[in-house]
């Protein structure tokens, strides 16, 4: 398999959009990049895309979709801890856990009242270049 081009400007663009709370736009940019990949890190980018989709669903009140996507995202990202391609995967996973903690709890009834807490929005951090 080919190596990933971690210098592709779409990565920085996707991260900037994610960190600005533009989750749908982030998804579009990273998915465009992801579609070209053949490297082993392709699944890490799948996890980043799904994290953005999970946050978009949560923001829109689609709690079922948010829960499914964050669980899938965590599964993809976990094998790339602590970091990959200068992306702090461990920190992102921790921040996703904090943001989605209440939604991921076992509830007696479905938590229809939950809303995305903007103070708990995760960010994607770089580990250095």
CATH superfamily for domain 9-107+115-120: TTHA0068-like (1.10.3450.10)
| Token pair belonging to 88 | 């702090």
What distance lies between CA 68 and its chain's CA centroid? 12
Secondary structure (DSSP) of the chain: -PPP-TT-HHHHHHHHHHHTT-HHHHHHHHHHHHTT--STTHHHHHHHHHHHHHHHHHHHT-HHHHHHHHHHHHHHHHTT-SEETTEEHHHHHHHHHHHHHHHHS--SS--TT----GGG-----B---
Q: Is the pLDDT of residue 129 over 60?
A: no
Percent of the chain past pLDDT 90, that is, above it, reads 82
Q: Is the pLDDT of residue 3 over 90?
A: no
Q: Is 109 left (phi over 0), alpha (psi -120 to 50) or beta?
A: beta
Whether the predicted model's global pTM rises above the 0.85 cut: yes
* Pick from 41-55, 64-78, 81-95, 108-122: least confident: 108-122
pLDDT of res. 1: 42
pLDDT of res. 111: 76
Q: What are the residue ranges spanned by the domains of the chain? A: 9-107+115-120
């Amino acid at each position: 398999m080919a190596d990933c081009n971690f210098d592709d400007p779409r990565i920085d663009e996707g991260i900037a959009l994610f960190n600005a709370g533009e989750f749908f736009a982030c998804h579009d940019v990273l998915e465009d990049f992801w579609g070209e990949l053949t490297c082993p890190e392709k699944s890490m980018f799948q996890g980043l895309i799904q994290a953005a989709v999970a946050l978009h669903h949560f923001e829109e009140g689609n709690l079922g979709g948010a829960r499914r996507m964050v669980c899938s995202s965590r599964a993809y990202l976990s094998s790339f801890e602590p970091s990959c391609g200068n992306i702090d995967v461990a920190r992102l996973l921790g921040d996703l856990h904090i943001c989605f903690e209440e939604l991921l709890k076992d509830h007696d009834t479905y938590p229809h009242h939950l809303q995305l807490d903007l103070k708990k929005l995760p960010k994607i951090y770089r580990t250095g270049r």
